[in-house]
């Protein structure tokens, strides 16, 4: 899709909205967790924030925030679900399903159309930042998201294994091919703090994020250890209550990142 067509989708968002994508080269590294924590950190700063769950076949954002259904909006547009504590607006296919456990068995064209409708048919009322939780990989669906949705920048998520680092480098190169700027890298599951002795144990060996970031000319925004308390909160829909959010002090830095080709005035 051409840049002018991207901008036509952007016109369905409030003026000045920044769209930031969260991407990984593979699944299971905590991409949705990072998207959720970013949204919480920005909302705690008093910003109006939304999350578009573009991972249609593996949506986890609604459960993480404890939201169940969307509500009727004005006219023909849907209103996103809103979280209880911070009022974060959320749109996910799981919010439209009768049963959240039902699989989405769709081909690419239907996925693409649905993602467009999550922009055009949803009333993203007043949001300043829209975080887009992209599906994993570098093939059809992530490509569709980068082509069709008005992204201003990407945050790449990795875990410490070298295998994951290699796949993440593919995602970074994909972003370059699509001319979407990468704001920085987040390394998740860097280790765990022993509850008995307090020692920090690296579960997957030495961190790979810093070297991958340096090789791509990026900065490491955060390193997130495994925290059972955070896992419990996400399972219970209470991520907004997490007190050790690694992005609380990074909002200004991320918000000040230069706008990409999805920039809007």
Which 3-state string (H, E, C) describes 35-50? Answer: HHHHHHHHHHCCCCEE
For residues 203 and 191, what is the distance between their CA atoms, to the nearest angstrom?
5
Give the span between the Cα atoms of 102 and 154, in whole angstroms.
29
Q: How much is the pLDDT for 53? A: 94
Query: Each residue's pLDDT tens digit in the chain (265 positions)?
Result: 446 556 677 888 999 999 999 998 777 889 999 999 999 999 999 999 999 999 888 889 999 999 987 765 556 788 999 999 999 999 999 898 877 777 777 777 788 888 889 999 999 999 999 999 998 877 777 787 788 778 899 999 988 876 666 777 788 888 888 889 999 999 898 888 877 887 888 877 766 667 767 777 888 899 899 998 999 999 999 999 999 999 999 999 999 987 764 444 3
In this structure, the number of other CB atoms found within 10 A of the CB of residue 237 comes to 17
What pLDDT was estimated at residue 200?
85
Using CA atoms, how far residue 221 sits from 38, 114, 157, 185, 249, in Å, is: 11, 31, 10, 6, 10
The predicted pLDDT at position 32 comes to 95
Q: What pLDDT was estimated at residue 75?
A: 65
Domain architecture of the chain: domains with CATH: 3-241+248-255 (3.40.50.300)
End-to-end CA distance of the chain: 20
- Give me 187's structure tokens: 């390394």
Q: d(Cα 101, Cα 186) in Å, to the nearest integer?
A: 29
Q: How far is CA 134 from the centre of its chain?
A: 6
User: Cα(114)–Cα(59) distance, rounded to whole angstroms?
Assistant: 14
| Nearest in space to 213 (alpha carbons), one of 251, 158, 174, 253 | 158
Verdict on whether the full-model pTM lies above 0.85: yes
């Amino acid at each position: 899709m051409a840049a002018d067509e991207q901008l036509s989708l952007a016109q369905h968002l409030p003026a000045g909205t920044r769209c930031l994508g969260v991407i990984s080269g593979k699944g299971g590294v905590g991409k949705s967790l990072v998207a959720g924590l970013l949204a919480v950190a920005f909302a705690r700063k008093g910003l109006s924030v939304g999350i578009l769950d573009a991972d249609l076949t593996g949506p986890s954002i609604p459960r993480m925030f404890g939201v169940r259904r969307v509500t009727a909006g004005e006219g023909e547009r849907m209103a996103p679900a809103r979280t209880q504590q911070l009022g974060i607006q959320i749109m996910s296919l799981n919010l439209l399903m009768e049963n959240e456990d039902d699989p989405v068995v769709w081909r690419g064209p239907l996925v693409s159309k649905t993602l467009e409708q999550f922009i055009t048919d949803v009333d993203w009322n007043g949001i300043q930042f829209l975080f887009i939780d992209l599906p994993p990989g570098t093939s059809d669906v992530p490509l569709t998201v980068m082509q069709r949705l008005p992204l201003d920048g990407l945050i790449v998520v990795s875990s410490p294994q070298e295998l994951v680092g290699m796949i993440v480098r593919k995602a970074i190169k994909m972003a370059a091919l699509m001319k979407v700027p990468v704001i920085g890298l987040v390394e998740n599951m860097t280790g765990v703090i022993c509850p008995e002795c307090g020692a920090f144990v690296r579960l997957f060996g030495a961190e790979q994020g810093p070297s991958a970031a340096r090789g791509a000319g990026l900065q490491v925004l955060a390193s997130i250890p495994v925290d059972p308390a955070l896992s419990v909160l996400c399972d219970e829909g209470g991520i907004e209550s997490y007190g050790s959010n690694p992005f609380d002090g990074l909002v200004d830095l991320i918000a000040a990142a230069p706008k990409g080709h999805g920039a809007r005035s």
